[in-house]
Structure 1
Amino acid sequence: MLESPLLQSGEQVTRETFWGISHVGEAVFYYLAAVTIIVFLYGVYQRFARYTRGSEDWFDRLDDLPGRITSAAKTVASNEKQFNRDLVGGVMHAFIFWGFMTLLIGTTIIAIDIDIFRNLTAIITGERQSFFVGDFYLSYSLVMDAMGLLFVAGVSIALWRRYVSRTDRLHGKHTSREDDFLVWSLFFLGVGGYVQEGLRLLGTASVEAGSLAITSYEEVSFVGHFVADVMFVGGMTPGMAEAAYPIMWWSHAILAFVFVASIPFMKPFHMISSFANIVVKDEKAGKRLPGVPAALDADSGAESVDSFSWKEMLDQDACTKCGRCSSVCPAKASGRDLDPRDVILDLKQYRESVDAGGETTDIIADGGQVIASESMESCMSCMACMDACPVEIEHLKHFTKLNRQLTDQGDIQPSLQEVFQNVMQKGNTFGNSQRTRGDWTEDVDVEVPDAREQEVDYLWYVGDYPSYDDRNKKIAHSLARIFDAADVSFGILFDDEKYDGNDIRRVGEEFLYVELAGHHVETFDECEFDTLVTTDPHSYNTFKNEYPEVDFEEFADDPMMPFDVEEPWNPDGDIDVYHWTQVVEELIEENALGLDGTELDYTVTYHDPCHLGRYNDEYEAPRSLIRATGVDLHEMPRNRDNSYCCGGGGGGLWIEQEEEEKPSEERLREALEDTDAGSAVEKFVVACPMCMTMYEDGRKTGDFEDDIEIVDIAELVVEAIDAGGVSASATDAGTPSAPADD
């Protein structure tokens, strides 16, 4: 082995940590390190102190904290959400994350050895000892070089995507110099570490016969070894490297200090806030929404920055500007005035401005300075933004509060105001007489029982559109025939059924929603049934996830609430709530409908409804029913949790929009052009009455009437039953058990 300044004791395998740095330099380094840590801790303290001044969140997000931390650590460590819809982005982030963490751990190990272990051993044994030697040192050097290389590779991909290929979603109105600072500082920290290592290896090497001779065991530092070789070939001598090393060392150290000190004050803070945000996430975010206190002057949550909850502020700080939410937003893709990322960052920017003494204004208004009312009117409540977000930002909660503020201010479109009036006066969104709600049953050739008059197994909530809309009545007819053919015990509420309230809640009308919930709970309590089944996924979502959350007792003394309910409804899930596809899937599995999977011969594709899929993770039941009819099912490229919204949710059915292309038109184009079967697709299958309405409209406006037919799964199943010769009374399978919960 060659003689080298690296050898501290005979042939001991290690290196001098402060090689080439004077004792004065070491003292200055520790001083700057202390200042950096103080600035970092103070900045983090300021951030979290601001959260404590936020309003209380609506439920306990710190319950089972150890479990939450463990779950968050798994999510972050696996980078699982980073790979969602973006393989290259996932690989990039994994390289950066694990490379950064390895380098951070490596730096911490050296600090422990120098500042703790050596001093402790000196006190205990009278001799300073180090564990940074031998096999540990060799393993350390190898791992640091390998993971550092991945780190540089990941940052290089980030630079390429940001500045060369210019990935669209990475750029927007909030793109700033701090984005440049983050990515370039990481790049120079990673590359600078290797340059520093190369200088050290070259400066401690010898030259024999014109060749560079580096200490043999340092070959484990394969990247640093390569850099040293390149420098030597380029004309640098060991003496030049030794002279340049302190300059590089200090440059690297100062950049590291600046980066660490800046973390609480700039974009790098997301390394802390994002993890915290994942820890305190709501597993049911979006599918359930926080209520509003019963007081008439209750704060909507968006009146001022003082209304923001600590979680909402954490959401804002956790945003990394990655644009994943923007890239999947159907409203943005349609040319509507909405970018989910910008809404979150606009709120953050305004909050920080007010905190700094800036001027206050209405947070949301027509053409507002912070958020424009048009932006919230554009939202379809499809939750694609939340599903795509890698740091669990709860966009829909922010949007709903903004919509509530619009409603409180009276700044809503006349068409939406008309819907509110219809629901208040008639109990439905159409404004039709409530007495005619069950009239659709007169046109179906089976008996539809009244669940108010007899005990049933399945209480079927039909919904507004299947009750009043001519096209969607066919779905109600089909489902009634399916239940009758399977010989199940079912019934409906006729004129005691009102609108479920799911979407008017999402456009801001909270008190009307509570009134509807109270009416239905009161009605449910008067009926005898085992399972609540819905036609509409929107109804399914609100009955399953939101009705149990309503605090009826808080409204018990309110004369404006015409119901007598004080206890929570179904808080423990004793009453099963299902979408009809889940129930019928069980019926088919029990052969209650006599289908053998050969009845129909169509080429079809299926559209996942947002409220059944992304909201409630039900993807298999609808597909199982479609396949049971014998058709040839081809998936669209955007399917399951990546499904593209029809445009009808979040009030989209009722609000007039200016858009370049309707979401329904784009989706039908995708079905006919991007699906494997292409133009051979004959039927576009849906499982939601709102989807049916939007796609029938899109078929006309997009000029697809001669190309494809829109059908509901229930219509396919009935056609298969008829093709198989199963009549309404042909089966005697009896009443099946309720399906397992999804």
Structure 2
Amino acid sequence: MTLSSAPAAGEVTRPTFWQIGPLGEAVFYYLAAVAIVIFLYGVYDRFARYARGDADATERLNDLGGRIVRVAKTVASNENQFDRDFTAGVMHTFILWGFLTLFVGTTILAIDMDVWTKLLGHPSFFVGDFYLAYSLVMDALGLLFVVGIGIALWRRYGARTDRLHGRHTSVEDDLFIWTLFLLGVGGYAIEAVRIVAFEFPSFEDVSFVGYAVALVLAEVGISPELATSLYGALWWSHAILALAFVASVPYAKPFHMISSYANLVANDEDAGRRLPRVPEDASPEEIGATDIDDFSWKQLLDHDACTKCGRCSSVCPANASGRNLDPRNVILDLKNYRESVDRGGETMEIVADGGTSVVDAETMESCMSCMACMDACPVDIEHVTQFTEMNRRLTETGQMDENVQETMMDLFQNGNSFGDPERKRPDWVDEVDFEVPDAREESVEYLWYVGDYPSYDERNRKVAVALARIFEEADVSYGILYEDEKNDGNDVRRVGEEGLYEMLVEDNVAAFEECDYEKIVTTDPHSFNTFSNEYEQFGFERGDDVYHYTQVVEELVNAGTLDLGGLDYTVTYHDPCHLGRYNGEYEAPREVIAATGARLDEMPRNRNDSFCCGGGGGGVWMDFADDPKPSEERMREALNDTDAGQEVEKFVVACPQCMTMYEDGRKTGNYEDDIEVVDVSELVAESLGY
């Protein structure tokens, strides 16, 4: 028997090119070859385009084998898809594994027909038990594929899930999902018609979906003769649709099946928390993104990896507050602009103030650098790094927000964001009844970097006082830099002022080097982040010796040095972006809170899902007409969405900027009589009797 003819009586197999004929078979192979050539050229053209982008500042392909294995596990498990959306995870798992199974099954069939039998002359292995097992697996996984597509169709068109729709939603999204649906359903239709035409061979019941559909067809009057006449038309429509899909992959949304995997392989685990340096020899015209090819090859790949899923947009606090920022739109605007320029379209500035650019200045000013978008993205698009490049361009061209410009001048002249004299930085020490050691004059275990807000802001000075009392109570060997301390520069860098950032780094590193210390402890997670992850770019070699104060206090509690307890509050805790999402520290603050005796009731958005206070990325220095403010939304969540609800007495923070933003939100949101904002250190100090 040949696969293009009917199987012999009793033979457990099925024909492949049945009713197609030799000419049809030749036409099919010709069309398949054309589709594959178009596919391969398209993939080559895409990757050749990335090569025209700028070099990337980060090593992306080291340990390539390890990266590929790691990403294969991520993709196989669909773990990124399950994050925050279980239904989407199930949907994508069904579609992925169904699609891969159908692809592998088709490949096996091609090997049998074209290599094993025709080229090597062996008898077909597509018979007997192999065929039965093959049919069972293909039907089962094909069913999952169709169910997954059904879920996707319902979410897009039935439930109309908000994040799936936006300015960039287009006909290609419809074509993609409906093509997959027709391919899945069409396969079962062909199988069912064939089963009817061969009058229900007993062994075909292993193809349980196709067999069930065949029973329905027979019930509605489809005879074997009619099924035979319909088969050719169904087969050709399915084959042409499949080949058209293959050919279209590099030119439309299906390319994410390739670009997303490549993007995951090339990801940088430190992206966002460790921003790339501006090249030392860069001229002012070369700083930041001025042209689409100023983005690195990885950033161009980021643009193509975007699947328009909207996860980044749905977690963005700026977007939720009504600011002019939708992370998905920024990425897709850049992609569309690149494609337009490649087709000979008009060129324009990448980012500028006034609406004559690809991205508006207000959009970039709105970003809080909270990295929620990056954490939510299932394909590891590095939004914050690209946003910083555009902020650098705005800074270089003098288009920075006026409030931020004033703050930068204060930082340049006085080393702090408040514009106060440097000599006033240690004034807070007058509020304690003991001498705070000077790390410039004596050896210490902990060099305590206090930071701007605990030094100059009236409310946050209480945090500095509380932490000093904790260190004294625990007999910690510590000291501060007094007036030699400068702003850490973390947010200076993220608003795009790289030159000022480097100046601050040099001043702080010089001050550190003048001291004899073992470790650095910071009050502010922003300081913790940049000292740990970025200062090494400028010669600081002690990044591994940097701790946030909650980590140090947790060690003191665990060692029995601090005897805490006795507090009888119901509290909730806000994870600071730079401590949690940036650096993965979630448990130390919670352990310390628990040690005080306070009852912790978590908000729904906690740990890596935490909702930004609005102060990051220079937001603490800017004025926005947010509705609602991120801090107000968080207060509402604390009082309305926790299990304890209105019984939550204290909103606990571990970041001075969070303290500032939430004290403001407590006033503007009319929550002053409902909840108190306190720092972890203040809870500990109260537990100690202060």
The TM-score with structure 1 as length reference comes to: 0.91
1:576 aligns with: 545
Determine the C-alpha separation between the residues in 1 that align with 2:470 and 2:235.
Answer: 76
Report the RMSD for the aligned CA atoms in angstroms.
Answer: 1.3
Structure with the larger helix share: 2
Q: How far did 1:117 drift? A: 1.1
2:65 aligns with: 66
Q: How far did 1:10 drift? A: 5.9
What amino acid is aligned across from residue 202 of structure 1 in structure 2?
V
- The correspondence of residues 148-187 of structure 1 with structure 2, limited to 5 A, is 148-187=142-181
What amino acid is aligned across from residue 109 of structure 2 in structure 1?
I
2:261 aligns with: 275
Determine the C-alpha separation between the residues in 2 that align with 1:5 and 1:276.
Answer: 39
2:240 aligns with: 254
What amino acid is aligned across from residue 218 of structure 1 in structure 2?
E
2:453 aligns with: 465
Q: How far did 1:357 drift? A: 1.1
Match of 2:272 among 286, 290, 294: 286
1:366 aligns with: 353
2:473 aligns with: 485
2:521 aligns with: 533
Determine the C-alpha separation between the residues in 2 that align with 1:33 and 1:288.
Answer: 46
- The answer to whether the aligner puts 1:677 opposite 2:644 as a matched pair is yes
Q: Is the 8 A contact 1:446 1:480 kept in 2?
A: no
2:95 aligns with: 96
Q: Is the 8 A contact 1:629 1:720 kept in 2?
A: yes
2:191 aligns with: 197
Determine the C-alpha separation between the residues in 2 that align with 1:546 and 1:308.
Answer: 21
Q: How far did 1:6 drift? A: 8.3
1:558 aligns with: none
1:563 aligns with: none
Q: Once structures 1 and 2 are overlaid, which stretch shifts more, 4-13 or 164-173?
A: 4-13
Q: How far did 1:138 drift? A: 0.8
- The answer to whether the aligner puts 1:620 opposite 2:587 as a matched pair is yes
Determine the C-alpha separation between the residues in 2 that align with 1:494 and 1:513.
Answer: 20
Determine the C-alpha separation between the residues in 2 that align with 1:12 and 1:235.
Answer: 27
What amino acid is aligned across from residue 666 of structure 2 in structure 1?
R
Match of 1:647 among 614, 625, 635: 614
What amino acid is aligned across from residue 248 of structure 2 in structure 1?
S
- The answer to whether the aligner puts 1:15 opposite 2:8 as a matched pair is no
2:462 aligns with: 474
- The answer to whether the aligner puts 1:397 opposite 2:385 as a matched pair is yes
Instruction: Report Cα offsets for 1:591-617 as digits up to 9, x if no partner.
Output: 10122x4x1000100000000010001
Q: Is the 8 A contact 1:121 1:129 kept in 2?
A: no
- The answer to whether the aligner puts 1:496 opposite 2:463 as a matched pair is no
Q: How far did 1:244 drift? A: 0.2
- The answer to whether the aligner puts 1:317 opposite 2:304 as a matched pair is yes
What amino acid is aligned across from residue 663 of structure 1 in structure 2?
P
Q: How far did 1:624 drift? A: 0.2
- The answer to whether the aligner puts 1:589 opposite 2:558 as a matched pair is yes
Unaligned 5+ runs, structure 1: 123-127, 206-213, 551-567, 724-742
SS at 1:363's partner residue? strand
Q: How far did 1:7 drift? A: 7.0
Determine the C-alpha separation between the residues in 2 that align with 1:26 and 1:391.
Answer: 39
Determine the C-alpha separation between the residues in 2 that align with 1:52 and 1:668.
Answer: 47
- The correspondence of residues 65-464 of structure 1 with structure 2, limited to 5 A, is 65-122=64-121, 128-205=122-199, 214-295=200-281, 297-298=283-284, 299-368=286-355, 369-464=357-452
Determine the C-alpha separation between the residues in 1 that align with 2:471 and 2:524.
Answer: 16
2:685 aligns with: 718
Instruction: Report Cα offsets for 1:252-307 as digits up to 9, x if no partner.
Output: 00000111100100011000000000000001111110110123615224101121
Q: How far did 1:366 drift? A: 1.5
SS at 2:677's partner residue? strand
Q: Is the 8 A contact 1:6 1:204 kept in 2?
A: no
Q: Is the 8 A contact 2:4 2:19 kept in 1?
A: no
What amino acid is aligned across from residue 217 of structure 2 in structure 1?
M
Determine the C-alpha separation between the residues in 2 that align with 1:24 and 1:164.
Answer: 44
Q: How far did 1:59 drift? A: 1.8
Q: How far did 1:80 drift? A: 0.4
Match of 1:657 among 610, 617, 624: 624
1:555 aligns with: none
Determine the C-alpha separation between the residues in 2 that align with 1:317 and 1:8.
Answer: 46
Q: Is the 8 A contact 1:79 1:94 kept in 2?
A: yes
SS at 1:578's partner residue? strand
Determine the C-alpha separation between the residues in 2 that align with 1:201 and 1:29.
Answer: 23
Q: Is the 8 A contact 1:7 1:13 kept in 2?
A: no
Instruction: Report Cα offsets for 1:462-494 as digits up to 9, x if no partner.
Output: 000000001000000000011111111000101
2:673 aligns with: 706
SS at 1:652's partner residue? helix
Q: Once structures 1 and 2 are overlaid, which stretch shifts more, 355-364 or 144-153?
A: 355-364
Instruction: Report Cα offsets for 1:111-146 as digits up to 9, x if no partner.
Output: 111111113442xxxxx3112122111111001000
Determine the C-alpha separation between the residues in 1 that align with 2:52 and 2:396.
Answer: 25
Q: How far did 1:8 drift? A: 3.8
What amino acid is aligned across from residue 482 of structure 1 in structure 2?
I
SS at 1:722's partner residue? coil
State the 4+ residue runs in structure 1 displaced beyond 3 angstroms: 4-12
Q: Is the 8 A contact 1:334 1:660 kept in 2?
A: yes
Q: How far did 1:519 drift? A: 1.2
Q: Is the 8 A contact 2:368 2:619 kept in 1?
A: yes
Q: Is the 8 A contact 1:683 1:709 kept in 2?
A: yes
Q: Is the 8 A contact 1:277 1:318 kept in 2?
A: yes
Determine the C-alpha separation between the residues in 2 that align with 1:227 and 1:83.
Answer: 32
Determine the C-alpha separation between the residues in 2 that align with 1:42 and 1:177.
Answer: 24
Q: Is the 8 A contact 1:6 1:14 kept in 2?
A: no
Instruction: Report Cα offsets for 1:673-727 as digits up to 9, x if no partner.
Output: 110000000000000000000000000000000000000000000000117xxxx
Q: Is the 8 A contact 1:5 1:204 kept in 2?
A: no
Q: Is the 8 A contact 1:467 1:476 kept in 2?
A: yes
Match of 1:515 among 503, 506, 509: 503
What amino acid is aligned across from residue 112 of structure 1 in structure 2?
I
Determine the C-alpha separation between the residues in 2 that align with 1:705 and 1:8.
Answer: 81
Determine the C-alpha separation between the residues in 2 that align with 1:456 and 1:191.
Answer: 71
Distance 1:7 1:257, change over 3 A: closer
Determine the C-alpha separation between the residues in 1 that align with 2:622 and 2:224.
Answer: 73
SS at 1:370's partner residue? strand
2:34 aligns with: 35
Determine the C-alpha separation between the residues in 2 that align with 1:247 and 1:263.
Answer: 25
Q: Once structures 1 and 2 are overlaid, which stretch shifts more, 6-15 or 215-224?
A: 6-15
Q: Is the 8 A contact 1:428 1:498 kept in 2?
A: yes
SS at 1:223's partner residue? helix
Determine the C-alpha separation between the residues in 2 that align with 1:280 and 1:504.
Answer: 28
Instruction: Report Cα offsets for 1:44-96 as digits up to 9, x if no partner.
Output: 01000101111100021000000000111111111101011111111111111
Q: Once structures 1 and 2 are overlaid, which stretch shifts more, 581-590 or 304-313?
A: 304-313
Determine the C-alpha separation between the residues in 1 that align with 2:528 and 2:125.
Answer: 61
